[in-house]
Amino acid sequence: MHVFLRRFVNFSSSMSRMARVRYQRIVRPQVIRHRGIWVPIGGPLSETARQSLCSGRYELLENDMLKEKLDPSDRVVEFGTGLGVTATVCANICGSESTYSYEPNPELIPLVRKVFDMNNVSPTLCNAAVAKEPGEVDLFVNEDFFSTSIYKRENTKSKVRCQTVGLANVLKDIQPTFVLMDIEGAEYDLIGSEIYSPVRKFLFEKHEGSLGPGKVEEVLNWITNEGFTLVEERRYMVYFERLEPN
C-alpha cells in the first residue's frame, strides 16, 4: 500500500510539473515563484533555462540540502551565483549580512540583483571567478547560463575576460563557516588551495561531464585532505563537514 501511495504521489507531482510547464509556455509569464523564490524568467534566459525554472527542477538538490544543512548562525560564501536563487535561500536563513556570493558571468549580474530586490535580500555580490590566485581568466559564456565555464562547451556564444579572486584570500577575509561551490569544473584548478578555518561545512557540486570521474575524485580527495569528512552524497551534490577546524 505504501509503495502504491508513493508511486501515486510521484506520478501526481510529475503531472503537476508537466501541467505547470505547459501553462507557462502558453502564458509566457515574466516572473515566477520558484520554490518560494521570485525569479524573472524573461530577457536573456534560454528556453532550456526557462523550462528548468518552470518545472521546479532548477537547483532542486542544492536548495533542499541548503535548507537541511545551513544554520542561522552560519556565515556563507557561495562560488557560482547563477541566478541568485541559492544565495537568496542562504540570505533567508542566515541573513544578507552573512551571505557572500561570487559570479564570473557579467551578463548575469543585473539579473541576480533583480532577484535579490524582488525577494527583499541583499547578499554581498562580486562579479568574479574563484581561482588559486587573483588575476584574470577566459570565461566561455553559454546560451544556457548554467553551462558557462572556463572550459569551452557546445553552445558557447562568446568569450569574456573576467577577474579572479584567490580562494584562500576570500576565506581569510570573510571567515565563513559554510562554503557552497558550483563552478562548472573550475574546482579542479583549486586543488592544493588551503581551506582555512572556521570553514566547517562544504556543499559541492560534482561535474563529471566536464572533468571525468578521475579528476572529480582528485577534487574530493583535496577536500578530504583539508580535514573534511564526506557526510552525504546525493547524485551530483556532495556534502562535507569538518568537525575540528584547523
CA nearest to 184, candidates 226, 155, 142, 225: 142
C-beta separation of 134 from 110 below 8 A: no
The reported pTM is 0.86
Q: What is the pLDDT of residue 155?
A: 79
Q: Residue range 51-55: average pLDDT?
A: 88
Mean of all residue pLDDT scores within the chain: 88
> Grid cell 536573456 — which residue?
44
C-beta separation of 99 from 122 below 8 A: no
Q: What is the pLDDT of residue 144?
A: 82
Q: What is the pLDDT of residues 183-214, one digit of tens each?
A: 999 999 999 999 998 999 999 999 998 899 99
The Cα 6–Cα 9 span in angstroms is 5
Q: What is the pLDDT of residue 22?
A: 55
Q: Residue range 21-48: average pLDDT?
A: 76
CB atoms within 10 A of CB 162: 18
Over 70: is that where the pLDDT of 5 sits? no
Give 173's contacts (C-beta < 8 A, 6+ positions apart). Answer: none
Comparing 136 with 143, which gets the higher pLDDT? 136
The Cα 104–Cα 148 span in angstroms is 9
Architecture of domain 57-241: 3-Layer(aba) Sandwich (3.40)
Collapsing DSSP states into helix, strand and coil, what is residue 131? strand
C-beta separation of 145 from 108 below 8 A: yes
Domain spans of the chain, in order of start: 57-241
C-beta separation of 189 from 166 below 8 A: no
- The dihedral built from the CA positions of residue 11, 17, 21 and 27, taken in this order, carries a sign that is positive
Q: What is the pLDDT of residue 2?
A: 43
Q: What is the pLDDT of residue 147?
A: 85
Q: What is the pLDDT of residue 19?
A: 52
Query: Which of the residue ranges 68-82, 117-131, 133-147, 182-196 would you say has the lowest mean pLDDT?
Result: 133-147
